[in-house]
Amino acid sequence: LLSVETMADESAAAMSEMVSNIHTIENVVDNLSSMSSKQRDTTDEMAKVIETIGQATVDIAAHTRETNDSVGHQMNNMEAIHEYAQSLLVVAERLQESAVVFKKPNELIFAINPFTAPEKIRQDYMPILIEVGKQIGYRARTIIVNDYDALGTALKNGTADIGWFSPAAYVSTKNQLNIKPLVTPKMNNATSYTGYIIAKKGSGIKSLDDLAGRSFAFVDKKSASGYVYPKAALLENGKNPETYFSSTSFMGSHNKVIDAVLSGEVQAGATYSDAFEAAGAKAADNLEIIFRTEPIPKDVIAAAPGVPDEVTQLLTKAFENIREGVGAGGQAMQAAKINGFVESDDANYDVVRKALSLT
């Protein structure tokens, strides 16, 4: 009974959040309508609309997953709620596309995939982009897209000018669109990281062999450490992820995978070194790292094909010149454990292409 009550409470909370998101979208539609009819395309109005939509989009995506998890344990007729939540994502994406009409010539829209919690992205990453834009005389606007695939779509359809890509998402988008790599963040004084497969201490899971018949969480199919590399490692060891686990989930972000393993929602999951370290003592004290990948090149910030070369060159220099701890952008870098940015090269991601070919 307690379990049913808990699931009901979780569903009610998730539905309440969706109602809030619906009201947010209604307000955005009103703003867009007003701006269109009165031809009011000022910077502040445009910024408010785009950033509000970006926040609503990623929040809806998170609440959709939460609702789906709760609804899956209850009555079948509750599936309509999940389907409705999915439709809200489509509405939010269309609104983002409409809002771009109001972008001024001296503005750049940056899009980020939800590799970590939205509030952490807003706090630790957005100030960096604002500072870089300011250095080259542009106003930076930032949106958080709802998943890894949506990032490439945003650059393809003109919703965003610059994307902050995970390695696998970059490679996937590069195959379809001639995006231009600019810089790679240097974190913990390195331009690569290590993928982990984790399990809870005391679970009896010590190796890949112990994962048979267990529940497992990936991040996203376009996440290098959260899917591509661990899947390749499993396949190389003769273990097909499609049949090897009792169940498989896609959590959407690394912090959600870590939290799911900690809570016992799943028995093991895929994440990466920086996210594990960011989780602090709760991860170090309670989780086992049962597998490590070879080094994976870090994220790449890339520009859409339509961004002029002179602008991409200025952006590259601005990223390289921003200093850790100096100004709002530099302070955000410290919080994100970013030591600096180095010019990126497409060839650096050939190892990711190799891993993708194995999956």
Region 293-311: mean pLDDT is 95
Average pLDDT value for residue range 312-322? 96
For the whole model, what pTM was predicted? 0.71
Looking at the chain, the whole-number percentage of residues with pLDDT higher than 70 is: 72
Instruction: Identify the band that residue 6 occupies on the pLDDT scale cut at 50, 70 and 90.
Output: low
Tell me which of 29 and 255 has the higher pLDDT.
255
* pLDDT score, position 130: 95
User: 3-state SS string over the chain?
Assistant: CHHHHHHHHHHHHHHHHHHHHHHHHHHHHHHHHHHHHHCCCCHHHHHHHHHHHHHHHHHHHHHHHHHHHHHCCCCHHHHHHHHHHHHHHHHHHHHHHHHHHHCCCCEEEEEECCCCCHHHHHHHCHHHHHHHHHHCCCEEEEEECCCHHHHHHHHHCCCCCEEEECHHHHHHHHHHCCCEEEEEEEECCECEECEEEEEECCCCCCCHHHHCCCEEEECCCCCHHHHHHHHHHHHHCCCCHHHHCCEEEECCCHHHHHHHHHHCCCCEEEEEHHHHHHCCHHHHHHEEEEEECCCEECCEEEECCCCCHHHHHHHHHHHHHCCCCCHHHHHHHHHCCEEEEEECCHHHHHHHHHHHHHC
Residue 22, pLDDT above cutoff 50: yes
Q: What would the pLDDT profile of 86-99 be if each residue is shown by its tens digit?
A: 555 555 556 555 55
Residue 219 has what pLDDT?
96
Give residue 147's pLDDT: 84
Q: What is the mean pLDDT of the chain?
A: 83
Residue scoring higher pLDDT (45 or 221): 221
pLDDT surpasses 90 at 204? yes
For residue 119, pLDDT beyond 70: yes
Residue 75 pLDDT: 47
Is residue 4 over pLDDT 50? no
Q: What's the pLDDT at 206?
A: 96
pLDDT, position 1: 40
* Position 112 confidence tier, pLDDT thresholds 50, 70, 90: very high
For the chain, give the percent of residues with pLDDT over 90: 58
* Residue 56 pLDDT > 70: no
CA distance 112 to 175: 19
Question: Within 10 A of 161 (CB to CB), how many other CB atoms are there?
Answer: 24
pLDDT per position as a tens digit, 137-148 = 999 988 888 888
Residue 67 — very low, low, confident or very high, per pLDDT cuts 50/70/90? Answer: low
